[in-house]
């Protein structure tokens, strides 16, 4: 295995890196998508307001269909996502907020995720890992980002990791700016993806108001912050449609936005970045 994409949820890798994955497969590179939070929650133990996305049997079938469309292998870690864990959140949107007073101890799966990284590196020593930047402060994305960042720094294996822009960071410039590395992502186009439709604009405006910004860096000791980063753009020209086809397999998630809106959004997003997907990589020599 040459490339391993860490996907917090079942659709994140495809939404953020689907074009890159399709291109790698076309180049006969081996790709594995590892989805972290895929455990079926006990519906009886969570309030109805949390049920909307807790349909993991269906979501796993959609994930299989999407990744088969891209011709890649996959692995599910069966860890329960934050929205369904105790103590329960007061409302679903609280998943975009980080409790600074609790520090790193609130992320109870860091060691388990890093143990999986140990196993994957031992099995695939030449693989490159792609982890989310956690733009948007979604709790699960932040946990995967922290586990990956800390692992990379602690073992000084900077060359083995790249960090991708999450869907939330694709949507809005304002949301990107709330992340401590967001200023590394300079717009090189003119179209604004968040204005693809009025519905998407309203959704991003609400999301932006929910996100507690500027918090991830406050959780970390200086050694994890004293890193120079470089922006890497990967052209996916010619692979955009295949990415959209794979993304549309996640029907339970796509219907929230609508296929037409999402297609227009991703076309605008890719155009904004010159038909590319974005990654940050720690500079060599650190």
Instruction: Give the tens place of pLDDT for each residue, 195-242.
Output: 555 555 555 665 666 666 558 899 999 999 999 999 998 999 999 999
| pLDDT per position as a tens digit, 116-127 | 999 999 999 999
**CATH for 18:** 3.40.50.10320
CA-based nearest residue to 269, from 179, 183, 193:
193
- pLDDT, residue 213, reads 53
- pLDDT tens-digit series, residues 60-98: 999 999 999 999 999 999 899 998 888 888 888 888 888
Instruction: Give pLDDT, residue 222.
Output: 92
pTM to 2 decimal places: 0.91
Residues whose CB falls within 8 Å of the CB of residue 115, separated by 6 or more in sequence, listed in order: none
pLDDT for 207: 62
Confidence check: pLDDT of 280 > 90 = yes
What is the Cα–Cα distance from 129 to 3, expressed in whole angstroms? Answer: 6
Q: Which domain holds residue 96?
A: 3-282
| pLDDT at residue 12 in the model | 95
- Which of 11, 2, 8 lies closest to 266 in space, CA to CA? 11
Q: In what order do the strands lie in the sheet with 276-282?
A: 73-76, 31-35, 3-7, 128-132, 161-164, 276-282, 229-235
Domain tally, the chain? 1
């Amino acid at each position: 295995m040459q490339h391993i994409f860490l996907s917090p949820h079942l659709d994140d890798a495809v939404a953020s890196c689907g074009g890159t994955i399709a291109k790698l497969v076309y180049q006969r590179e081996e790709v594995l998508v590892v989805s972290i939070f895929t455990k079926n929650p006990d519906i009886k133990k969570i309030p109805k307001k949390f049920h909307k996305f807790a349909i993991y049997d269906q979501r796993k079938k959609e994930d299989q269909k999407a990744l088969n469309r891209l011709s890649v292998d996959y692995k599910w870690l069966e860890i329960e996502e934050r929205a369904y864990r105790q103590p329960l959140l007061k409302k679903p949107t609280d998943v975009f907020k980080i409790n600074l007073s609790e520090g790193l101890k609130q992320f109870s799966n860091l060691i388990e995720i890093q143990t999986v990284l140990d196993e994957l590196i031992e099995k695939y020593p030449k693989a490159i890992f792609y982890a989310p930047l956690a733009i948007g402060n979604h709790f699960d994305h932040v946990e995967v980002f922290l586990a990956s960042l800390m692992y990379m720094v602690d073992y000084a294996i900077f060359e083995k990791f790249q960090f991708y822009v999450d869907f939330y960071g694709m949507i809005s410039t304002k949301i990107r700016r709330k992340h401590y590395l967001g200023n590394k992502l300079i717009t090189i186009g003119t179209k604004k993806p968040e204005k693809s439709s009025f519905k998407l604009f309203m959704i991003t405006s609400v999301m932006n108001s929910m996100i507690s910004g500027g918090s991830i860096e406050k959780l970390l000791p200086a050694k994890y912050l004293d890193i120079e980063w470089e922006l890497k753009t990967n052209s996916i020209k010619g692979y955009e449609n295949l990415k959209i086809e794979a993304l549309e397999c996640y029907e339970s998630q796509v219907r929230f936005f609508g296929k037409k809106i999402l297609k227009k959004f991703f076309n605008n997003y890719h155009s904004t970045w010159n038909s590319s997907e974005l990654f940050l990589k720690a500079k060599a020599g650190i």
